[in-house]
Structure 1
Amino acid sequence: MDATAKAIVLEQCGKNRGYRDADIRGFRPDRGVCLPHGPEVITSRVSMKTVSRRVAVEGVEVAFSRDAGRYVCDYTYYLSLHHGNGCAALVHVPPLSRWLPASLLGKALQVIIQEMLEEMRKPELKAWFAENSTLVIPAKGNL
């Protein structure tokens, strides 16, 4: 959640450097870097720009961004993109309010996730995902 946001923001990429602030538990990346020797920027394979253009929920603004800031959100996103070979998403949401009650935010997020899944169904992404994903077998009792 982004307490200052007035719109839902779909982040396209995570950045490796520039982390100065500690998170809520006091963690701060060594020398402000997520992954030493990692690429400077990792971009999601999901076109967040396309998703943001296609999403339409009355009363909810959806924006596209290429800079998630340098806090725990972007740090986590960068590492997720790295470990997921570009298959990750970061969605900043504004706080609940009179103009954005939980029911409307939930509906908007459902539409956004559906659009992201549609993006992943595009033939070129589907082929890439099939080649680069790994089979996950749930732990016993987590079925």
Structure 2
Amino acid sequence: MIRQPVLVLTSGDAGRRALELAISVTQAHRACLTIMHVLDTSPPWWAGTGGGADFAQAQREAHRDGERLLAAVRDELPGDVLVRTCVLHGAERAGVQVLRALKRGDHDLLVVEAPSAWTGPAGHGSGWLVRHSPVPVLTVRAPCG
């Protein structure tokens, strides 16, 4: 029985399908869904000398945008879905932030967009997260064609 599934919210067709799957699992198990929006706030190359203030402002705006996105998604969910939302905004890659949140919580299932065929740096994408997740993972791909 699933009690605390987690969805890492992404955009696009695969992200919408992952949301639909997470809702179905949550309803079937009468669970409480946690929806995470992850910001990669590791400093970009341009935030070196002199770019720190612009980067800090961009981080604040991204955090507010993430909260608005989560609120919009939460408001569209069916009334029988218990939900928590969380914006992760650490100074680490997205996958590392999600892994840390999974280890902290009582989550028992992770729903994410399927990994890309292209590999990224450690802790960057869903492929890395799928390989390192301490809980079972359901992945969803965008429909072909």
Same fold (TM over 0.5): no
Structure number with the higher helix fraction is 2
Q: Which has the larger radius of gyration?
A: 1
Normalised TM-score (structure 1)? 0.28
Q: Which has the higher strand share?
A: 2
- The TM-score with structure 2 as length reference comes to 0.28
